[in-house]
Each structure stands twice: as structure tokens, then as C-alpha cells.
Amino acid sequence: MYTKKGNKKALENILQTERAKMYQIAYLYVKNQTDALEIVQEAVFKAFISMHTIRDSA
């Protein structure tokens, strides 16, 4: 899956499959369900805002 060139669907797919892991990691740090959910939401938001900056590493 490529996220370069603003491929919104590819980024959505990546985030959908990784969201649970993101939540688990956030919860390990903050030990609060609401805060962990907010952290994940903020991370997803920032990913969408900055997806145009993703470059191909090849």
C-alpha cells in the first residue's frame, strides 16, 4: 500500500489496521481510557493532515 501522493484510502487502511495497537500503546503510557482514545484521535488527525508530506523511500 502506498500513501505517497495523498492516497487517502491507503492511509485509512493502514490506520484502521493499526488503531488497536496505537490505543494499547497509548494506554500503557497514560493508564486512562479517555486519554488514550484522545491520543489516538490526535495522532490519526495529524497523520491525515500531513499525508501530503510522505515521501517514497526508494
* Sequence spans of domains, the chain: 4-50
pLDDT computed for residue 27 by the predictor: 99
Is 43's pLDDT higher than 90?
yes
Is 10's pLDDT higher than 70?
yes
Percent of the chain with pLDDT over 70: 81
Q: Are 14 and 1 in contact (CB under 8 A)?
A: yes
Mean pLDDT of 22-31: 98
Cα distance between residue 53 and residue 3, in whole Å? 10
Is 26's pLDDT higher than 90?
yes
Q: How many CB atoms lie within 10 A of CB 51?
A: 17
Give the residue with greater pLDDT, 43 vs 57: 43
